[in-house]
Amino acid sequence: MFGSGSDSGQNHIGVAGTVLMPTRFVWPYGGRRVLLSGSFTRWQDHITMSPMEGSPTVFQVVCNLTPGYHQYKFFVDGEWRHDERQPAVSGNYGVVNTIFLPRESDAIPELFSPDVPVGSNMDVDNDFLRLDAVPQISQAEIELSRQRISAFLSTHTAYELLPESGKVIALDVNLPVKQAFHVLYEQGISVAPLWDFFKGQFVGVLTAIDFILILMELGNHGSNLTEEELETHSISAWKGGKLRINRQIDCNLNSYSRSLVHGGPYDSLKDLALRFLQNKVSTLPIIHSSSPDGSFPQLLHLATLSGILKCICRHFKHSSSSLPILQQPICSIPIGTWVPKIGESSGKPVAMLRPNASLGAALSLLVQAEVSAIPIVDDNDSLLDIYCRSDITALAKDRAYAQIRLDELSIHQAIQLGQDASSPHGLFNGQRCQMCLRSDPLHKVMERLAVPGARRLVIVEAGSKRVEGIISVTDVFRFLLGC
């Protein structure tokens, strides 16, 4: 029978000597506390699932399972649930989900493909691909794939991105910035469009980078901004340029003077994708007005490149052979940012930090390197965790930002502040990290990046988990569109 015992936090499951297969389980329907149990835990132990970065309603965990047939179920806020969208059977424990893992790792079902978050007990050694067995793709085949993807994007609109139901949060520009970031934290979001009541229109976007710049300004001894002034300092004052931040910092995301980059529901997906790439934004408000002059605008959705990528994956799911580029391993095509090998000329370096580096150093690197995340590695450059721009909103909890010094708080401590104190896994549990191998085919990388919140994958070496590079959803679109 199902028990209500304590969490085991155990995801190394199998008999000694048996080959284990990293398998990702996902609960995408929200909840405060989500646990996983199944035949692989003898229906006795519960495995804690963690919310994905940027998507607090999607919980996941990776378990190392033996090949064969398994049953499982989710324990959500004290109630046993199953995923109605996945294979299920009725048995001794009611309706339970099922999964079959064949011995050949390449035949693992897509939903449970081993996109293994990093942790000390995660293993990706069974996911090798012989690169010499992969036929080289010609430039003509690359262009053919690009043309077919471009044709699809050109004939489908942003309307297809709109969910059947949901909520979109907007903030008034006269709201104090302190209150605004508390809203972002409490709602589990890192971006919010800005509404100007007097202009009657949306005028900008408040993002995590704004909070980063504000914290850096607060930590500046020569700053005119104090923590007390955040009580009354409005978003419009911040965005209007009353704060004189170092003009050498070129950060497009916090520019209030330029017009809002947005889209309409009938804009093509290709136009939206190009708008993302050209303006270097991560979120695009979808706004509609039935008036010719654009008055009384309605905010319908916050579009992301991940959402557009999901449309591509869904459309070509059963006709992937028409896109020969999708079968190519990512190391064989010009995509992503890679750590240069010895003797190679270095291009754009991969920004990495040790866990004892200061939070101030991490924030400065996020701004100056114009990246959205930084891998946290050990002395061997093996992946431990990742620090993202969106993690900064966690400092709004209990006004933590007012009680710390950026140069004294380590990244290790900063991540710990944002984690659930009741988590049994400890700091570097790995559930926040999304990673892949250099041998992974492009279609597998695209499927993982199409998951809400998975904006980038860290490319690691099998076994050692040494960081080899990073591939983002932006990288994928630049390659697919030939930008």
pLDDT range class, residue 308, cuts 50, 70, 90: very high
The residue among 2 and 283 whose pLDDT is bigger is: 283
Instruction: Specify the pLDDT at position 225.
Output: 54
Look at residue 1 in the predicted model and tell me its pLDDT: 34
pLDDT tops 60 at residue 41: yes
pLDDT in tens, 116-143: 333 332 333 334 344 444 556 788 888 9
pLDDT of residue 127: 40
User: 0.85 exceeded by the pTM?
Assistant: no
Lowest mean pLDDT among 203-207, 254-258, 403-407: 254-258
Over residues 462-481, the pLDDT tens digits come to 778 889 999 999 999 999 99
pLDDT bucket at 22, cuts 50 / 70 / 90:
confident
Q: If you average pLDDT over every residue of the chain, what do you get?
A: 78
pLDDT per residue over 356-399, tens digit each? 999 989 998 888 888 889 999 998 888 999 999 888 888 877 77
Least confident of 83-92, 156-165, 267-276, 356-365: 83-92
Interatomic CA distance for residues 213 and 78, integer angstroms? 41
What is the tens place of the pLDDT at every residue in 238-249? 776 544 444 444
Can you read off the two tokens belonging to residue 77? 């806020």
Region of poorest pLDDT, from 29-43, 170-184, 402-416: 402-416
Tell me: pLDDT of 15 over 60: no
